[in-house]
């Protein structure tokens, strides 16, 4: 469990004739959320130090670094149950990091997930991607590729853009995904890759030693709180500071090199720009994308005057299910959505004149995000309130006893 069971997110939304703009703020006193997934030379061999981060685990023997992240689901109303249950709709029995997680061998043997997609785990999906009643969501009964394609063409998926403090922020973009039968990256090329490495011979890439001394960050310095400055420092393998690995330079005790080199994205995967600043007390993140994008099969298209559904989440120092997730809000582009007392207060995007948004003139919406633990959609549709959940006669906001909050 995290120290905070709840987190407060402040959100502003604006739009013009061509683009939508988001600005987010949330308290984050711990430094280092821009360090992520490192290869470390330790005791004569290279090791991967992934999540959780030391300031999350509180463990002096930790082997983890994981970036801070802001994400949100976006829907045009096509996905049944999303308005009522938000991200809980996408977490199912068998999903990775849940106690019921399917084994790698079980997934690899599955005709769709293993043989067709080449996956070894189950991630987010919507229950409609599976056969049976709309709410059942058994990944073993996933629909045919033709049926899934038809769902994409109807817009029956959840858009999932993200801002990542390490894997996207240093090059000025977000990353973009969508949830249907799996959490798929959008078409094109995303902001990061994975470099090959070996415990004996090390990574393929390192920092330019003219930029970072000895071609690597120093584990001891970082563990002691000596982080490169967020934004202006060098802590990510961006193209301008990356060179081939040379063990005579960068193989020393505690040498630390990112496993994920960054690159310029393109295609639908490059829809979102993103920029974040850590002030010492909080993150301030801005994201933007065109209202109409290159691929409507993986991205929700936006039109001024319409209302959409939006549910945010925040990760800090850990990945997968260890995050704070928000309830679904109605989001109007220039229109004020109707308030439903069984849902949190809606947001209204302010129309602006051009991309230089004066955020002082845009209203701030305050959302409560909660730690979901291991509760899944499977638990909801088989638990105490199963009938009300299946028939959508209740919402997550109401089940958590928040339906009397004015917001």
CA angle 287, 315, 349 (to 5 degrees): 30
Q: Which pLDDT belongs to residue 4?
A: 79
Distance CA 332, CA 13 (A): 10
Q: Which pLDDT belongs to residue 104?
A: 96
Q: What is the pLDDT of residues 259-275, one digit of tens each?
A: 999 999 999 999 999 99
Backbone angles phi, psi at 111, to 5 degrees: -60, -35
Q: Which pLDDT belongs to residue 97?
A: 84
What percent of the chain shows pLDDT beyond 90?
87
CA angle 76, 78, 80 (to 5 degrees): 125
Q: What is the pLDDT of residues 340-391, one digit of tens each?
A: 999 999 999 999 998 999 999 999 999 999 998 888 999 999 999 999 999 9
Q: Which pLDDT belongs to residue 395?
A: 97
- Closest C-alpha to 138, from 154, 126, 121, 120: 126
SS3 7: strand
Distance CA 95, CA 143 (A): 17
Listed in sequence order, the residues at least 6 apart from 362 whose beta carbon sits closer than 8 Å to its beta carbon are 12, 13, 14, 23, 350, 352
CA angle 35, 38, 41 (to 5 degrees): 135
Residue 53, pLDDT > 80, answer no
Q: What is the pLDDT of residues 1-30, one digit of tens each?
A: 667 789 999 999 999 999 999 999 999 988
Distance CA 116, CA 343 (A): 38
CA angle 109, 110, 116 (to 5 degrees): 105
Element (H, E) at 326: strand 324-326
Secondary structure letter of residue 112 according to DSSP: I
Backbone angles phi, psi at 311, to 5 degrees: -140, 115
More confident residue, 403 or 405: 403
Distance CA 46, CA 44 (A): 7
- Closest C-alpha to 343, from 360, 323, 368: 368
- Closest C-alpha to 203, from 312, 399, 48, 31: 48
Residue 407, pLDDT > 60, answer no
Q: Which pLDDT belongs to residue 317?
A: 74
- CA distances 165 to 70, 71, 171, 221, Å, are 9, 11, 10, 20
Distance CA 347, CA 366 (A): 9
CB 121 within 8 A of CB 105: no
């Amino acid at each position: 469990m995290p120290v905070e069971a709840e987190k407060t997110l402040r959100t502003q939304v604006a739009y013009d004739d061509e683009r939508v703009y988001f600005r987010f703020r949330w308290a984050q006193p711990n430094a280092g959320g821009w360090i992520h997934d490192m290869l470390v030379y330790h005791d004569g061999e290279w090791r991967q130090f992934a999540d959780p981060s030391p300031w999350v685990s509180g463990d002096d023997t930790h082997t983890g670094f994981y970036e801070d992240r802001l994400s949100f689901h976006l829907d045009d109303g096509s996905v049944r149950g999303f308005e009522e249950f938000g991200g809980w709709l996408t977490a199912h029995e068998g999903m990775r990091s849940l106690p019921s997680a399917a084994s790698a061998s079980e997934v690899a043997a599955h005709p769709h997930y293993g043989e067709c997609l080449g996956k070894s785990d189950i991630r987010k999906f919507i229950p409609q991607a599976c056969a049976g009643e709309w709410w059942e969501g058994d990944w073993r009964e996933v629909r045919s590729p033709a049926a899934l394609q038809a769902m994409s063409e109807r817009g029956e998926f959840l858009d999932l853009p993200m801002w990542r403090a390490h894997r996207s922020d240093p090059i000025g973009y977000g990353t973009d995904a969508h949830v249907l039968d799996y959490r798929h990256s959008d078409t094109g090329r995303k902001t990061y890759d994975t470099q090959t490495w070996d415990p004996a011979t090390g990574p393929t890439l390192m920092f330019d030693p003219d930029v970072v001394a000895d071609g690597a960050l120093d584990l001891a310095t970082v563990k002691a709180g000596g982080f490169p400055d967020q934004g202006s420092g060098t802590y990510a393998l961006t193209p301008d500071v990356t060179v081939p690995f040379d063990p005579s330079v960068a193989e020393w005790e505690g040498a630390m090199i990112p496993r994920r080199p960054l690159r310029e994205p393109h295609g639908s995967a490059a829809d979102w720009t993103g920029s974040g600043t850590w002030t010492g007390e909080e993150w301030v993140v801005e994201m933007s994308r065109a209202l109409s994008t290159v691929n409507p099969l993986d991205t929700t298209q936006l039109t001024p005057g319409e209302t959409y559904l939006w549910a945010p989440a925040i990760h800090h120092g850990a990945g997968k299910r260890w995050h704070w997730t928000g309830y679904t809000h109605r989001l109007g582009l220039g229109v004020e959505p109707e308030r439903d007392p069984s849902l949190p207060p809606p947001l209204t995007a302010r129309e602006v004149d051009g991309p230089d948004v004066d955020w002082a003139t845009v209203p701030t919406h305050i959302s409560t995000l909660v730690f979901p633990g291991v509760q899944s959609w499977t638990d909801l549709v088989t638990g105490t309130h199963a009938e009300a959940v299946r028939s959508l006669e209740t919402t997550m906001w109401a089940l958590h006893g928040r339906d009397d909050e004015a917001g």
